[in-house]
């Protein structure tokens, strides 16, 4: 057979595809029955073509994405007073950075420098040099006090940052670390909204409103937006809706770029950092090994969506102290995505995907509209009743969907007794709700 391979395929329009769907399914209205009415407030079509892409502001969307490929594999550890954990073991086993939770040096009043040096360098950061290894701290200690203690015993440039909510000393902490441009002090978290049951639209809108409140407070204390952007880190949870979560992270960067233009700032949103952690909202104490699988898809969404720092939760962290095995598997998820899937070789790998570009645009539009609704009420702090009602509504809808048959693997379907006593979630492990909780 002589096939003229040099002849181009005939062009096909979206209308041609829709006609083909109707023909194959023997239903002239088949296409309309295949739409997905998402919880985000918009409808996703069953397929997209280049015709749809031509209607999007692609240049704006793609220009806001991170320019460099890769991410930091940053496992999280709970700092327990008196423990002798050697975090260098994790670094030797593939971690690039660390997240230390509940990191408090001590009450600064009357602290002897030698005692402080021993606590910080000999125990908490034993053998870890912050000029080479980024460490991100979650602490209840005032930000400025924490930074002052850190700088007293570490006299060189720091890497990492604070993953704690801003407080009334954050401006001072930001000034104190201006000589460490890779140490971020302004954390804007979306975990609270995600763990309350937010849709991706709500999570984006309310996180953006939190950013505005934070920047307004800090600029009133003398900092400029140009100073704040390079010191800002977003910290978000990533859930199980694979494509929506990819689009959520891409949409975040576009929304921030749009907001910065409203501040009349020329600073690039690319300077922002995004920290992602796999979700506690979707974890379960039933059939707990399924938490490994959820974390894997969530981690892939995070890296394809463009996170800068990734924390994969150990599968058993919900109900027990994570084992060495569960920590190793969590680290290896990120390593596999790098070394076997090669997702660290290209920035914004989903760029150009008809589906993901459309989801990104739709999330931008829906989140910006909801964000404006919050701002009309005076900002996040003054819109708490509205925000809570929105979150309660979304959570109730997610629970009802499970009651009506939406599958939570290992919870309401495909449940399996994996042996050993699991029990309930640890106190204070989850700051918010869990979808599986009432079905376990």
**Which pLDDT value is given to residue 127?**
80
pLDDT along the chain (440 residues), means of 10: 66 88 90 90 91 92 95 92 77 95 59 54 73 92 90 86 96 96 97 97 98 97 96 98 97 96 84 95 92 97 98 93 94 97 96 96 98 97 96 96 92 79 63 88
Token digits of residue 122: 């000999």
Q: At what angle do helices 200-220 and 384-403 cross, to 10 degrees?
A: 160
The CATH T-level fold of domain 60-370 is: TIM Barrel (3.20.20)
Q: How far is CA 174 from CA 145, 162, 257, 326, in A?
A: 12, 10, 22, 35
Q: What sign for the dihedral angle of Cα 187, 311, 270, 52?
A: negative
**Which pLDDT value is given to residue 107?**
47
Is the pTM higher than 0.85? yes
Q: Are 283 and 294 in contact (CB under 8 A)?
A: yes
């Amino acid at each position: 057979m002589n096939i003229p391979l040099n002849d181009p395929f005939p062009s096909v329009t979206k209308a041609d595809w829709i006609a083909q769907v109707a023909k194959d399914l023997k239903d002239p209205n088949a296409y309309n029955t295949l739409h997905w009415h998402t919880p985000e407030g918009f409808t996703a079509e069953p397929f997209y073509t280049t015709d749809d892409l031509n209607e999007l502001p692609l240049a704006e969307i793609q220009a806001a994405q991170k320019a460099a490929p890769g991410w930091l594999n940053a496992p999280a550890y709970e700092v327990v007073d008196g423990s002798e954990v050697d975090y260098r073991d994790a670094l030797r086993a593939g971690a690039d950075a660390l997240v230390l939770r509940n990191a408090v040096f001590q009450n600064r009043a009357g602290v002897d420098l030698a005692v402080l040096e021993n606590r910080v360098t000999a125990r908490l950061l034993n053998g870890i040099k912050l000029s080479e290894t980024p460490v991100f701290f979650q602490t209840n200690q005032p930000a400025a006090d924490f930074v002052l203690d850190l700088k007293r015993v570490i006299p060189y440039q720091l890497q990492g940052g604070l993953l704690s909510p801003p407080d009334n000393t954050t401006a001072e902490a930001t000034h104190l670390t201006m000589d460490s441009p890779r140490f971020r002090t302004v954390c804007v978290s979306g975990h609270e909204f995600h763990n309350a049951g937010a849709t991706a639209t709500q999570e984006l809108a309310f996180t953006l409103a939190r950013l505005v409140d934070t920047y307004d407070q800090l600029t009133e204390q003398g900092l400029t937006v140009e100073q704040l952007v390079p010191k800002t880190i977003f910290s978000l949870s990533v859930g199980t809706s694979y494509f929506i979560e990819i689009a959520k992270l891409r949409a975040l960067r576009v929304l921030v770029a749009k907001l910065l233009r409203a501040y009349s700032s020329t600073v690039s949103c690319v300077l922002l950092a995004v920290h992602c952690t796999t979700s506690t909202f979707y974890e379960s104490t039933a059939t707990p090994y399924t938490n490994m699988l959820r974390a894997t898809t969530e981690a892939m969404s995070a890296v394809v969506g463009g996170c800068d720092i990734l924390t994969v939760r150990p599968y058993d962290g919900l109900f027990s102290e994570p084992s060495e095995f569960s920590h190793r598997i969590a680290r290896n998820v990120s390593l596999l995505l790098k070394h076997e899937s090669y997702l660290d070789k290209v920035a914004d790998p989903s760029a150009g995907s008809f589906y993901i570009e459309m989801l990104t645009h739709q999330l931008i539009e829906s989140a910006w509209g909801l964000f404006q609704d919050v701002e009309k009420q005076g900002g996040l702090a003054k819109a708490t009743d509205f925000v809570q009602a929105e979150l309660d509504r979304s959570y109730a809808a997610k629970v009802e969907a499970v009651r009506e048959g939406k599958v939570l693997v290992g919870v309401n379907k495909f449940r399996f007794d994996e042996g050993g006593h699991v029990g309930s979630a640890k106190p204070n492990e989850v700051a918010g709700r869990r979808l599986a909780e009432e079905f376990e």
